[in-house]
Structure formats: structure tokens, C-alpha cells
Structure 1
Amino acid sequence: MEADLFQTLAFIAPLSAGLQKAFGNYIVEETYAKKHRLLDEGQVCKRVYFIKKGFARAYYLAKDGKECTCWFMGTGDIMISVYSFLTQRPAAENIEILEDSIIQSISWNQLQSIYADFPEYNYIGRIVTEKYYILSEERALLLRTSTAEERYHLLLKTHPGILQKASLGQIASYLCISQETLSRVRGRKSILT
């Protein structure tokens, strides 16, 4: 199933015909294969991405060279390297496509034009920013207060089908546990069911 960017934004607040036309003129839609990287560490994130269909993750490399997954995003989600996009400075993370995906995007400059030309979009932009800030805060709290098993069950609930889209190593790093711990958690779940 595909998501629609206009419907996603209009769910927050109605989009004027002019705003829809401006977005329509700027939005680029592209198809990417699994394993494609939309952003590499050290590059500046110059585009905001909307997943029309697909699944992606952001990750960084730890000092020991291990990949550490920061987040997963799926159909209907907006994704960026937040720090890099907002400051237009080099990113500390990579954004990788985990399954063949259809991605819509708009550049930083184009988005700034929309903010300037359509004051009503400032409200929508604020709500989207708040949503992702809240998700980030919830994740930080979850990592400090929940067990590995609780984090795993929440991940399965928020991202159904993730076991077919991401590797166990990617999932374990996202949950901040070892693959061995993830195997034990998954084993306990299968015993209970």
C-alpha cells in the first residue's frame, strides 16, 4: 500500500490550492532499490524525504566500526538527518533503504521558499517537527526504563513485518542489545506463543 504526501500533510491542516501547486512543482519522486543510501555520513542532508512506499533506517558507525541503528521509518513517514538538514552541516549518520522503495523529496531551499510564501505551512511544519521530537524523547525514555523484551515487543507493534525488512543485527543495535540477547528474547516469545 502507498501513502500520499498531500493526505498526510492535509491530515494536520488543510492545504490551500497554491500550497499544493507549489509542492507539486517541487516534489521529486524516485524509486530506490534495497541497500541504496540516500545519505552518507559526512554529507549535508539537502532533502527531506517522504516514504510513499517502503522502509528505511538511519545508522552511524561506532568507533569500533559497528553499525548502530538510530531509527526505522516506513510507508507514510517523513525522514531526514535532523541535525544536518536543519543546520545544513555534515551528517553524523547514514540513511539506507531496507526494501525497494518509492521516495518523494523536496530540497532544503524549496522548503524554505514554501515556509516564506505560505505562512499556513509553518503550522504544519511545526506539528511535524513536534511529532518527531516526541518520538525521539519517547525512544530515549524507553531505552532508559524498559527491558529488552519490552523494547522488542514495542518495535514489533510499531513496525509490523520488520523481521522481513531489517536484519537481526540492525534490530539488535536499534534496541541497544546484543544479537545474543535478541535471540533469547525472541526464543522466549516463541515459547510463550
Structure 2
Amino acid sequence: MTRNDANPDDDLARHAQKMAKKKAARDRMMENKTGEKGLVIVHTGPGKGKSSSGFGMIMRCIAHGMPSAVVQFIKGAWDTGERRLLTTHFEDLCQFHAMGEGFTWETQDKSRDIAAAQAGWAKAQDLIRDPKIRMVLLDEINIAFRYGYLDVAEVLAFLADEKPPMTHVVLTGRGAPEALVEAADLVTEMTQVKHPFRAGIKAQAGVEF
């Protein structure tokens, strides 16, 4: 009997048996996964989607009625869709603080960039210390690390010593320092396969901002 002549009922039975085995294995794996904790989450890498993923998590928190907050370290001068949405519709559940003045090559003033990053970190510490806030998104903070505007060791020490046990902190931006990657609970690296910018397409509303 060829594959084409096989009894469809046999195929369905084999599939059901295979899925039953997968479910049993999954159930065994989940038996011991009962713990909960506030996570340190890193979205990094050269690909697109790091901030978008972080804002997706913020929207999940809002959907669950969990207070949250955003601190933007670099793109504070941008009028982004996520900023409009959060500040106009969800101000009661999500604080939004745009601390940066744009990318460093736009300001061309290192002292101003450092001051903005330090102010952003001071605000972030206040938000993280508040146990009522369940998630804090530190958007593009990795860029501040890369340019030396913030000390990653200082940030990690604060997270280890002062972050409430059930607070999630999300840190985004390419080039996450190795020390941050090692200390984090969840790290995702976005890879770039294709990008329209290379074909002369500019950043567009609804896609990039």
C-alpha cells in the first residue's frame, strides 16, 4: 500500500497518538514550573522590533489592569504612535516619561545627552521602587550604556538591591552590555534579515513609530 492509499482514519489515529505524547511531555515539564518573580528582560540585537516588543508587553499589563510605566532614554523627541496611545487612552494605568532629546547625533551635545540619560535613570529608579507599578520599560537604555551616559554596573546593582520582587523591568536597545545579558532573566536578540531602509524606504508611521 502506498502513502496515497493509506487509510485516512489511520493517519488521524497516528496524529492523535503523537499529539497525546507531546501533551504528556509538556504536562510533565510544566509540573515544576509554578514559581513567579519579577523578571529583568532584555531586548537587543541589530534587528527591528526591540521597542515594539517592549511596548507589546506594556499593553499586556494594561489589559490585565497592571500599572506600568515607560521611560524613553533616546527617542523622547519623537511623536510616536505608542506615545500617543498610552498618554491619551491609558494615562491612568501607564506613566510615560520621554527623557531623551533625540539620538545623540541629532543633539550633537554630549553633556546634554548625559544629563538627559541621568535624569531618565533617576525617574526610572523612582518608578521601579514603587511596588504598585508592575512593569517598567526602559526604552533604548542600552544606547545610553553604549555611549557611556549610564553605568551598567550601577543599574544592575540597583536592580539587584532595590527592585521589588514582583516588578518586571524591560531594557531595550541594540548592543546590550554583556554584564546585563548575564544578569537578565530573559534575553531576546533581534536579528536583521532584510530592512526596507536599505532599499531607500524611509521610516514610516505605523511601522517604525
Interval of TM-score (by shorter of Structure 1 and Structure 2): under 0.3
Higher strand proportion (structure 1 or 2): 1
Higher CA-based Rg: 2
What is the TM-score with the length of structure 1 in the denominator?
0.24
Q: Which has the higher contact order (CA 8 A, sep 6+)?
A: 2
What is the TM-score with the length of structure 2 in the denominator?
0.23
